[in-house]
Amino acid sequence: MKIAIYNLKGGVGKTVTTANLAHLYATQRTRHVPGSHRGQAPQVLMIDCDPQGNLTQFYKRYDQSAPCGMREKEIIGTDWPFLSLMPGNMDLYELERSYYESKTVDALADIGSGYDIVLIDCPPALNMLTINALSIADFIVIPVRLDAFSSQGLVELDTQLQDVLQINPALQLLGVLITHDERTTLSDEAEGLLRASFPVFDTKISRSRWIIDSTLMCKPLAELGMTLKPAWQYRKLANEIIKKVKE
């Protein structure tokens, strides 16, 4: 099962979502992952396709002097035994240029075998890195912020989806994820417009200082405490994803 986390907009929570979902699955804090052995933690792989390398930095594996994971097809470990990472860094910019020249769209074709779930952190652009990521994905999750959402945002989101499906017609939209959730004068109206047009997860991720703290400390939310609101919200999301995949 391969899930791409994607949106053309930056700052919507793609990396935070990837990092926390992967950790929750790998540490068995969710329902049984389809395809994995019962009683054993699922093997989870994260792929960092963003040249900023924020996912790699979060897991303290960033090395700017090394080739990026996509170039070398390199997968490394993390501090958790069932959680692996294909690291990203600025070398991805150079790799992307080579993909344009060679028209490579299958660079990740053989990646993911042996893993129960693969989560792909895509850059905020429909470039050759994203195209290669989406071409292997079974499902897509699109995080959005309601405070930047409008009727124009609906049009943009629909355009993104149509472009994505041209790359991989078999790709299924698991859902749109509302992040940085906070009640405002227009938030209910924006959410209503979104839910009327797209499948939206029941789970929403609240705006929280704990998310900021976790990124500063480079620790998944669950390690700070499962009673924290964003930690159990991400667990709820992880379980909702499993339920949708089974359906």
Residue 206 and residue 233: Cα distance in Å, rounded?
8
Element (H, E) at 79: none
User: Three-class SS of residue 2?
Assistant: strand
Kindly state the average pLDDT of the residues 110-126: 94
pLDDT of residue 159: 86
What Å distances lie between residue 30 and 124, 140, 232, 236, CA to CA? 28, 19, 10, 8
The tens digit of pLDDT for each residue in 73-95 reads: 999 999 999 999 999 999 999 99
Return the top range by mean pLDDT from 87-96, 153-162, 182-191: 87-96
Closest CA to 190 of 159, 161, 181, 209: 181
Q: How confident is the model at residue 146 (pLDDT cuts 50, 70, 90)?
A: confident
pLDDT of residue 225: 96
Kindly state the average pLDDT of the residues 136-145: 94
- Residue 46 pairs in a beta bridge with 85, 119
- Domains plus CATH for the chain? 2-246 (3.40.50.300)
